[in-house]
Structure 1
Amino acid sequence: MALKNLWEQERSQRLQITAERRQQVNQWKQLTQQELQLQADLLHQELSSFVSSLHNNRNLQQQQFQQEIVERQLEILQIKTDVCQRQQEYRQQRAAKAQALFQDLQNFRAILHKNVWGERIHEQVVAPPPAKTEKLVATVPKWAMSRSGIKTSGFRPAVNTMTRKVPALNADTKSKVQQYIQQAEGATLIEIEEVMGLSRVQTIDILRSLIKQGVLEQRDRQYFIRQQAIS
C-alpha cells in the first residue's frame, strides 16, 4: 500500500507539473500571438502609410510632369513664334536689301552707260502687241545693253528682230571699243560684239589692230588695256 500511495503521489505531482507547463505554454502562445498581431498591425499600418505616401508622391510628380510639359509646350510655341517673326523680319530685310542693291546696280549701269556712250539716248523699238493682250513688247538693240547689265542679269539681251545698221570701221569705233574695255576693266569677244553692235569679223579686226598697236592684251579669252597704254 505504501508503494501504491507513493506512486499515486508522484503521479499527481507529474500531472500538476504537466498542467502548469501546459498553462505556461498556452500563456506564452497567447503572448506570442498578441505580439505577432501587434507587429502585423504595425507593419500593415506602416505599409499602408508607405503606399499612401508613394501614391501621393506619384500624383504630385505626375502633376509636376504635366506642368513641366505644359511649360515646355508654351516655350516651344514662343520659340516658334519668335522664329516666325525673325523669318518675316529677315525676309523684309532681304527684300529691302535686294531692292536697294537692284537700285544701286541700275544707278551703276546708268553711270557706266553715261561714261561709255555719253549723254546720247537710245530709242527703243516697240514691237506690235500680240493678239489678245494689252502688253507692249519692246525689243532692245544689242548696243543698248552694257557689260554690267549682262553680268548682273545673268542672261544676254535678246537680239533685235529689226535690221540693224552695222557701223563702219573707223578710228572713232576703235576708240569706243578701247574706252569700253577700259571702263569695264576687261571684256570678252562676245561682250564687245554685243555691246558695240559689231559683227564678229569687225570685232576681231578691231581687236587685232589694237593688239598690234600695243594697246590691248589677251588673257583667258578676255581683252584688257595694257598698263603701259594706260600710263
Structure 2
Amino acid sequence: MIKDEFLNNIKSLIKMHSEGLLGGEVMPEDVLIGVVNEDDIMDVLTLAMALNYQRNSYKLWEAVLNAYQDDETKWIFNTKVVANCDIDILREALLLHRVGLQPNRHPEIWQRVARGIMNSSEKGDVQGLIESVQFDIFPLKEFMQGTRKADFPYLSGPKIFNYWLYVLESYTNISWSSRELITIAPDTHILKATVKLGLCSEEVLNGGAADRKVVANAWETVLKGTGLAPIDVHTPLWLWSRAGFTSLLEFQK
C-alpha cells in the first residue's frame, strides 16, 4: 500500500474516533473517572494493569472500581500497605471483588509490583517513581524493562508497559519527555487492525512475542515524521477492531 493512502486511512480512523463513531468510545478505564481520587489514580491504574492480560478489560476495571469503593478493600491500592501486608490477607481482598482471579499468582504479582514501586523512590508510590526519572520515558524503560524488570512482572512487558504509559498520560496530569518512545501496545485487536490496514501480513495474528514486536516496529516506522506517536493510533485501532472494521470510505471523500 502506498504510504499516503495508508496515512489517509489512519487520519480517517482518528476522525471517526474523535466523532464517537466506532461503536464503543467508552474505554475500560473510563469507569474510574470522577470516582477515584486524583491522589490515588496513578497507583490504582498501575497495580491493576499488572493483572491486565488475557482478560476482559471492562470486567477488570469494573472489579477495580468495586474494590476501590469498598472501605474493606480500598487499601489494596495503597502501595506501602500492600508491600508490607500478609499475603493471605491480600489474597482475600483481591478475590473478594474479583480484581484477582488466580488465588496464588495474582496476589504475588500485586505485592511484588507494590514493593517494586515502594522501593523505587522516597515517596514509595507511582508518582514518586515517575518523578525519580523526571518524567522521562527513556530512563523509566531502562529501569522497569531492564535493571529492575523482575520487580514488575507483566507490567514490564512491551504490550502492557507501553499501554500503561499511555493510560497514565490519558487519565492523570503527566506530560512525558521523549513521548515518541511510547510504542503501540499490540494486543489482539491491534494485531487484527494492523493486518486489516495492510501494514503487516496475517502471520502476526499468531500473537507471539515476535509477532507483537514486528507490529510495534512497523507502526514506529510508518508513522516516523508524521507528527503522530504510535500510541496515538492505539485507541482508534482498538475500537475499530471491536466495531467489526467499520468502513472508512465516507471519511475519505
The structure where strand makes up a greater share of residues is: 1
- TM band (smaller chain): under 0.3
Q: Which has the higher contact order (CA 8 A, sep 6+)?
A: 2
- TM-score relative to the length of structure 2: 0.21
The structure where helix makes up a greater share of residues is: 1
Larger radius of gyration: 1
- TM-score relative to the length of structure 1: 0.23
